[in-house]
Amino acid sequence: MARNLRLTEEEAIRMGLIPSKSPSSARGRQPHEGEPKVPAVAGNRRPRHARPGEKIDPQRILAGELKRRLGDEAVHEEVAGLIPGRKYRVDILLPASSIIVEFDGFQYHRSKSAFQKDRERQNHLVMAGYRVLRYFNKQVHEELDRVAEEIVVFHRSVVQR
């Protein structure tokens, strides 16, 4: 069974997946000795695909981008306990708007029963008042700006109501 790779913030910064919070990380800076060169995607500053053998967690990439746009306190990852009596964990939660961002992929729905349980889980979340948005890994890797903007626009429209 494949497992998601989790990176620390420092590792993600070093790999060019998220921008550094320091002013020295300006666009176009040269990597330090021993630091890998990471190709930038126009406007994203992230690799479009992982290098061979490298797994880049799209959840961490998207959460980092949402934190950059909305602030660290507005975005929560790996949240459990939203539905009493259920052991559900959501990938990303924006508490102010009750938006949940979930990632779909074949690795999570290899069977009919897994797919059905996921639909049941989503229904419970919606009935509890959450708004569930679903994305797949390729969307984050190839359309990060569009996906993040879509979520941010929806979040702000809900918060302003």
Write the secondary structure of the chain as one string of H (helix), E (strand) and C (coil).
Answer: CCCCCCCCHHHHHHCCCCCCCCHHHCCCCCCCCCCCCCCCCCCCCCCCCCCCCCCCCHHHHHHHHHHHHHCHHHCEEEEECCCCCCCCEEEEEECCCCEEEEEECHHHCCCHHHHHHHHHHHHHHHHCCCEEEEEEHHHHHHHHHHHHHHHHHHHHHHHHC
Residue 19 resides in a domain: no
Residue 65 resides in a domain: yes
Number of C-beta neighbours around residue 159 at 10 A: 14
Task: Enumerate residues 6+ apart whose C-beta is below 8 A from 76.
Answer: 92, 93, 94, 95
- In the prediction, which pLDDT does 112 show? 80
Domain that holds residue 108: 53-160
- In the prediction, which pLDDT does 150 show? 96
Q: Phi, psi at residue 6, to the nearest 5°?
A: -110, 135
Residue 41 resides in a domain: no
Residue 73 resides in a domain: yes
How many residues does this entry show for the chain?
161
Residue 126 resides in a domain: yes
CATH of the domain at 65: 3.40.960.10
Q: Which of 116, 95, 115 is nearest to 105 (CA)?
A: 115
Residue 11 resides in a domain: no
CA quadruple 156, 102, 44, 15: dihedral sign: positive
- In the prediction, which pLDDT does 126 show? 95
- Structural domain tally of the chain? 1
Query: Could you tell me the two tokens for 4?
Result: 């998601």
Residue 46 resides in a domain: no
Residue 105 resides in a domain: yes
Mean pLDDT by 10 residues, the chain (161 residues): 61 66 45 41 40 70 95 93 89 95 71 83 93 92 94 94 81
- In the prediction, which pLDDT does 58 show? 87
Q: Which residue has the tokens 């229904």?
A: 123
- In the prediction, which pLDDT does 127 show? 94
The model carries a pTM of: 0.64
